[in-house]
Amino acid sequence: MAGPTTDDQVPAYWRGLGLPGLADIHVHFLPSAVLAKVWAYFDAAEANYGMAWPLHYRGSEPDRLETVRRLGLRAIPSLTYAHRPDMARWLNEWCTEFAARVPDAVHSGTFFPEPSAAQDVRDALTAGARLFKVHVQVGVFSPVDPLLDKAWGVLAEARVPTVIHAGSAPRPGEHTGPGPVAELLRRHPDLVLVVAHLGMSEYHAFADLAEAYEGVHLDTTMAGTDFTEQFAPMPDGYVPRLADLHAKVVLGSDFPNIPYAYAHQLEALDRLELGDDWMRAVLWENGARLMGLQPGPAHDL
């Protein structure tokens, strides 16, 4: 069965694999003011990235919720991320409100290197958060900033996954790359980390960390797509490593901030030709395990 080329084909694709839906761990639903700034950044991508980034999904929040449900996402992360002090707490409060009004939400949280970081994480966990996100490049901070040490300790003890954007693509930052993440894991080896974008463009180095640490996973966000293969192609010898890491690779998409149809992410994974069992693990089993999903009746499909 060939991978889907249009969004209308996506449900038939995952049903053909015998799956109850998709477990996409890298989806963004943000406060409207924050989302407007994110979209403005991508609209200026020629200046920011040196290439156009035409956003494919610009509908209202209800429209976007309807879209991901129609595609078959069984749960919807909000996955906000703080990029300055005094931001994480109100983002976490918004995520709590989002989870309260969206029945299929994955209650998410974030934190930032500031004195309140550990308490912000504790408060978010108490409110119900079961997935966190940090963005090293956008936030311009090191994951081993001393102000984060206790926060990471709380997450390691709770075994709650954190999606971390730490790779150097599409734009390197002062603290991006595998080195700081390796040091973070040396200090907190029990962390459950989901490295966004397979860690592009340091694919092999982040795969090393996934092999070395039980809790380290890689999400597929934008990986292998025609768009990213232009500036961060998968290197020689990498696809066989993805096969070996089948229990550590998790579906991610970056919806809605992608310059192509959602279906293309699945098409890109399918054409790696790693087999149906690998696709089942990546599209559902691994993400469902991390996000605590059950294969019951799908919402609104």
Q: Which pTM does this prediction carry?
A: 0.96
Does the pLDDT at position 256 exceed 90? yes
Tokens 């090293």 belong to 136
Are 49 and 170 contacting, i.e. CB atoms less than 8 angstroms apart?
Answer: yes
Q: Which of 121, 186, 177, 182 lies closest to 148 in space, CA to CA?
A: 121
173 or 15: which carries more pLDDT confidence?
15
Report the helix count and the strand count for the chain, using DSSP H and E.
15, 8
The full set of domains in the chain, from first to last, is: 7-291 (3.20.20.140)
Which strands make up the sheet holding 193-195, listed edge to edge? Answer: 108-110, 131-135, 162-165, 193-195, 216-219, 249-250
Does the pLDDT at position 146 exceed 80? yes
In the prediction, which pLDDT does 199 show?
98
Does the pLDDT at position 301 exceed 90? no
CA-to-CA distance for 155 and 175, rounded, in angstroms? 21
Instruction: Count the Cβ atoms, other than its own, within 10 Å of residue 236.
Output: 8
